[in-house]
Structure 1
Amino acid sequence: MDKNKFRNLFKRYLAGTLDEHERQELDVYMSLLDESDFSEAVDELVELEENRDFEKERVFQGILNRMDKKDESTTASSPHSRKMRLVQFGKVAAVLLVSGLLGLVAYQIFDVRQHMDEVISMQPAVSTGEIELPQEDALITLADGKQMSLDEIKEDTIYYKGLAITRLDDGTIVMKQDREAHFFRADEKHHFVTPKGVSLRLMLPDASIVYLNSNSSMQIYAAFGKKQRQVALSGEAFFEVAHNKELPFVVHAKNTEVSVLGTKFNVSAYNEDRQVETTLLSGSVEVGADQNRLRIKPGQQAVVHSSNTIQLRKNVDMGNVLAWRDGYFRFKDVSIRTIMADLAKWYPIEGVEFKAGSSDQFTGSIKRSKKLKDVLESIEQVSDLRFDIQEGRVIVMK
């Protein structure tokens, strides 16, 4: 099977530019398709066509029409073969919903025709309630207790006890310090906090860049960059560490210690998660937990469990890991529980109640700037799930 040819045909099919011969060729490819090939095609489509408005109903009807043609071409003398083809197609059946939310795909293992009928006939059932993103900004608490929000840091530089704090045009907060100043004790810490719905780009005194994700916090010692470069992280952050072979850069996150000299990597260590994930983009890092140590290479991920064991994952999808840094939720073959856990890290959801489960596996990208209500409605469009928002809680049902 020519996968590149299939991807091109599939992309053109959704754009409505296939001629009859190409439609027949696509039908042949679809009959030979497996789920991994389809998932890759959808991922590529989302990235290339994320700003394009697809016509949802035309896509739905096109899939149904293709199934009709398949039914007509199957003889009555081969019911078993017909059923097998339907099941095979059902394993990779997809409904794409863009409508401003990029793309979302739900995979289900049952008869495609039945699923398509349900999707087309259903109406969004998200309640009129909404969970709004907070209006808070990131907060900086200096080692002596002085607090300032990003709103206070406009065009002017704030000078305070040997520190110079500036906000650049792109929103980056730059912190510089007088190396000769001694207003703070070496063991005191400056504290950076991002509430839900807010992320922060920060330049540390050593010129390292930190992207702090929503609902996260990071502490740096007042003596950072002088005799050590150590930070403590809760939540998630992406680090672009300035090289300094004399002073290793160390991230402490729960039971994990990540040591580097200069590199780019992501650390996810939310309190509600059972593990700490360190993913390397470039360079080299050493991940430690108790007496265990593991050095990882670019494209690899070290997962530290609560037992201090370290698991190595190879060939990690960096696009998924770093989607938050670029302003997106990105999912690939994940359950609704995984999606709701990720949404709860961005939106101020007070709790999620599952009154119904689902075997659906979702793939797609959604902008984090969207309202929660819109995100949940997009999930309803491609599954049999319904959502109700009540007093800050999300109820998942059917």
Structure 2
Amino acid sequence: MSKEKIWHLFSRKLTGEASQDELMELKLYIEDHPALLHEMDALEQLWMQDNEPDQDYLEATYLLHLEKMKKMGVEPTAPDESYEAEQPFQTSFFNRNRRRLLAGVMFVVIVMAAVIPFLNRKSAAGKLAETTAAIKQKVVVTPNGKNTSFQLPDGSTVWLNAGSKIDYSKINEAGNREVYLTGEAFFDVVKNPARPFIIHTSSIDVKVLGTKFNVKAYPEDKTVETSLVQGSVEVFVKNRPGEKYLLKPNQKLVLLNEEQTVAKTPLATTSKKDFNLPIIAITHLTYPKNDTLATETSWTRNKLSFENESFAEIAKKMERWYDVKIIFKNEELENEELNGDFSKETLQQALDALRFTSNSFRYKIEGKTVIIY
């Protein structure tokens, strides 16, 4: 199946026009080509946002990518208008005409994003760097309750979780590839052996050449984690000069956040399984039963997952996920270990689900505050 047809099917899925046969065809192709999954998820998140599209930017992007494709000998075609009679647009954020225009524009953009790397992998970084002019900000901040994804000037892709901040002002044409992260981000780094990609956090530095991995470094969390999905990474711990840790796929490095450990008593911040946790540990990623997506990276697909985690740590994740403040009136509840997997659930539905697995707590929602007792 051609790449043009795949992205054509994906654009029809976004607009709600794809038939069941087309959806199944797309699903089967993605299962055989999992590398496309993150790109499609990111574009689907963008499509579902409430914000009005910048029509001037979309038009300029359309013309830019159309010109590139013509130079490469690729002639993209917009979704066939004959499909219109099959099924009307479902209710969404945009009116009919705007969605048709946006679908066409997005189709060209995502075809370029997918086709260029397959046509000429060696020049992918150079072509993607041409989009630098479209990236005006050098710092991206996500508030609680929101996450986002975007491309860096070197072509690498970043998914930034809620309550996070990334500064990429040091990525430049001279080849410097360094970013500063507070919070959590998933990176799909374009490979460049001559230019290592480095992520700086308050407690660790992560060095890569080209790979997919997740870094979680929230100041308020008890641990800092680096989770490797593909490739290899080197982790340097700032308070241990001279030491470095090399991770293999499906491994993660867990570092105790010393500020949190010292500031609070172990009873209030750790579960029973963490009492003997070393300052640094290398473990395996967690995969829920019958799921190929690791818990550590599930947030990139708009899924909040946790397995055998203390209620206190789960509460921090839920605070960022739902943009609320959670207060425990019963400190003993903080150490209870729970499991959960939420995607489209509301805050109340999520809390009710947790209560279903544990009847030991009650809750009350007052505006943006949740009281657990």
TM-score normalised by the chain length of structure 2: 0.56
Q: Is residue 366 of structure 2 the alignment partner of residue 396 of structure 1?
A: no
- From 301, 311, 333, the equivalent of 2:280 is 311
Corresponding residue SS for 2:141: strand
Question: 1:362 — aligned with what?
Answer: 338
- Larger fraction in strand: 1
What's the offset of the Cα at 1:224? 2.8
- From 297, 305, 315, the equivalent of 1:322 is 297
Q: Note if contact 1:335-1:360 (Cα within 8 Å) is conserved in structure 2.
A: yes
Deviations 1:216-275 (A, max 9, x none): 111112643532101111111111111001110000111211000011110001121133
Q: Is residue 254 of structure 2 the alignment partner of residue 293 of structure 1?
A: no
- The amino acid that maps onto 1:353 is F
Q: Is residue 184 of structure 2 the alignment partner of residue 208 of structure 1?
A: no
Whole-angstrom CA distance in 2 between matches of 1:150 and 1:221: 27
Q: Note if contact 1:254-1:276 (Cα within 8 Å) is conserved in structure 2.
A: no
Corresponding residue SS for 1:317: coil
Corresponding residue SS for 1:273: coil
Question: 1:235 — aligned with what?
Answer: 183
Q: Note if contact 1:289-1:310 (Cα within 8 Å) is conserved in structure 2.
A: no
Whole-angstrom CA distance in 2 between matches of 1:180 and 1:373: 42
Q: Note if contact 1:209-1:239 (Cα within 8 Å) is conserved in structure 2.
A: yes
Flag the 1:232–1:331 CA change in 2: closer, same or farther, 3 A: same
After TM superposition, the structure 1 = structure 2 runs for residues 34-53 of structure 1, keeping only pairs within 5 Å, are: none
State the aligned residue count: 238
What's the offset of the Cα at 1:177? 5.3
Flag the 1:179–1:204 CA change in 2: closer, same or farther, 3 A: closer
- The amino acid that maps onto 1:395 is I
Whole-angstrom CA distance in 1 between matches of 2:158 and 2:220: 22
Which segments of 5 or more consecutive residues in structure 1 lack a partner in the other structure? 1-136, 139-148, 160-165
Question: 1:144 — aligned with what?
Answer: none
Question: 1:134 — aligned with what?
Answer: none
Whole-angstrom CA distance in 2 between matches of 1:151 and 1:273: 35
What's the offset of the Cα at 1:347? 1.4
Whole-angstrom CA distance in 2 between matches of 1:323 and 1:227: 31
Q: Note if contact 1:355-1:395 (Cα within 8 Å) is conserved in structure 2.
A: no
Whole-angstrom CA distance in 1 between matches of 2:257 and 2:357: 35
Flag the 1:180–1:254 CA change in 2: closer, same or farther, 3 A: closer
- From 360, 363, 368, the equivalent of 1:387 is 363
Whole-angstrom CA distance in 1 between matches of 2:170 and 2:313: 37
What's the offset of the Cα at 1:382? 2.9
Corresponding residue SS for 2:284: coil
Flag the 1:387–1:236 CA change in 2: closer, same or farther, 3 A: same
Whole-angstrom CA distance in 2 between matches of 1:156 and 1:394: 44
- The amino acid that maps onto 2:309 is V
Whole-angstrom CA distance in 2 between matches of 1:313 and 1:394: 34
Whole-angstrom CA distance in 1 between matches of 2:351 and 2:372: 10
Higher RCO structure (Cα 8 Å, ≥6 apart): 1
Deviations 1:82-131 (A, max 9, x none): xxxxxxxxxxxxxxxxxxxxxxxxxxxxxxxxxxxxxxxxxxxxxxxxxx
Flag the 1:196–1:288 CA change in 2: closer, same or farther, 3 A: same
Corresponding residue SS for 1:314: strand
Whole-angstrom CA distance in 1 between matches of 2:310 and 2:257: 23
Question: 2:347 — aligned with what?
Answer: 372
Q: Select between 318-327 and 280-289 the one with higher mean Cα deviation.
A: 318-327
- The amino acid that maps onto 1:274 is K
After TM superposition, the structure 1 = structure 2 runs for residues 211-290 of structure 1, keeping only pairs within 5 Å, are: 211-221=159-169, 223-290=171-238
